[in-house]
Amino acid sequence: MREKIVAGNWKMNKNRTEAKALVSELLKEFKHKPAPGVTVVVAPPMPFTGEVVDQTAGTSVQVGAQNCHQSESGAYTGEVAAEMLKSIGVQYVILGHSERRTYYGETDAFVAAKIDRALEHDLVPIYCCGELLEERKAGRHFEVIEAQLKAALYHLHPTEMAKVVIAYEPVWAIGTGETATPEQAQEVHAFIRQKIADQYGRELAEGCAILYGGSCKPSNAQSLFLQPDVDGGLIGGASLKAADFAAIAHSF
């Protein structure tokens, strides 16, 4: 059976005290009601990552980063290397998020190199792909997603690809309150899995976790997670409230 994952992307939210409190609340939620068979990941803002690793040590909650640089090390002011993340106990890294593509000009080539660095340092990349509203309206979403998969992933060796988690995040649904319908999500997830199967074979594709992201919340998580090719969620806004995030993790 495929891994089920619920990952929270806190983005640039919470100060140190609030971050600690959110993790404490989350740990209480999961202690009170565990989510067996679900991998729960939180990706706090970079300055608190180490503290969150310490706070969650020995619990079922894993820690991710929201980004890493595509180079091993060097003169890149303000950046963070995959090796640094690994050295403090981070396990996942979100790469290719549409906000990074839009605001920081990250291209698929950049993201491909970031995925390489992450894998070299044994971090699990959560690779985000998804179409813009105008691309969806023009019926180009499959073409756009296929191009994103090809550019960022198809250079990977099968042993590397087997470690990658994919997040389908239609850009028009991120932070907008507008969610893809379960049918829309399933259609794209099945398409992504088919593309991975074409490239790497059916067995690898069947093992690949494909998450949905875009205004996922307690009220819609279950209908999304019921879809056969939806293996969990990458959660933005709703990951900032412990009760909501825990409810999503309990929605399988």
Active site residues per annotation:
97, 169
Residues 131-190 that bind ligand PEP (CB under 6 A): 169, 174-175
Beta bridge partners of 211: 167
Task: Please report how close the Cβ of residue 162 comes to ligand PEP at its closest, in angstroms.
Answer: 23
CB of 51 to ligand PEP, least distance (A): 22
192 vs 146: CA distance, rounded Å? 8
Phi, then psi, of 133 in degrees rounded to 5: -60, -45
Shortest CB 73 distance to ligand PEP, Å: 28
Of residues 73 and 102, the one with the C-beta less far from ligand PEP: 102
In the three-class reduction of DSSP (H, G, I as helix; E, B as strand; rest coil), residue 67 is classed as coil
**Minimum distance of ligand PEP from residue 11's CB (angstroms):** 6
List of residues 6+ apart from 50 with CB closer than 8 A: 88, 89
Using CB under 6 A as the binding rule, whether residue 8 contacts ligand PEP is answered as no
Give the span between the Cα atoms of 61 and 38, in whole angstroms. 10
Closest to ligand PEP by CB, 35 vs 237, is: 237
Single residue of 4, 9, 84, 165 touching ligand PEP by CB under 6 A: 9
Cα separation, 151 vs 146, in Å, equals 9
Q: How far is the CB of 205 from ligand PEP (least distance, A)?
A: 23
Nearer to ligand PEP, 125 or 213 (CB): 213
Q: What share of the chain is helix, strand, coil (3-state, %, to 5)?
A: 50, 15, 35
Q: Name the residue nearer to ligand PEP (CB basis): 44 or 214.
A: 214
Task: Rule CB under 6 A: say whether 235 interacts with ligand PEP.
Answer: yes
DSSP tag of 232: E
Under the binding rule (CB under 6 A), the answer on residue 64 touching ligand PEP is no
- In the chain, the amino acid numbered 151 is A
Distance CA 20, CA 48 (A): 9
> Which three-class secondary structure state does DSSP give residue 94?
strand
Scanning residues 191 to 230, which ones bind ligand PEP (CB under 6 A)?
A: 213-216
Residue nearest to ligand PEP (CB): 236
Residue whose CB is less far from ligand PEP, 200 or 238: 238
Cα dihedral across residues 100, 216, 40, 192: positive or negative: negative
Contacting residues toward ligand PEP, per CB under 6 A: 9, 169, 174-175, 213-216, 234-238
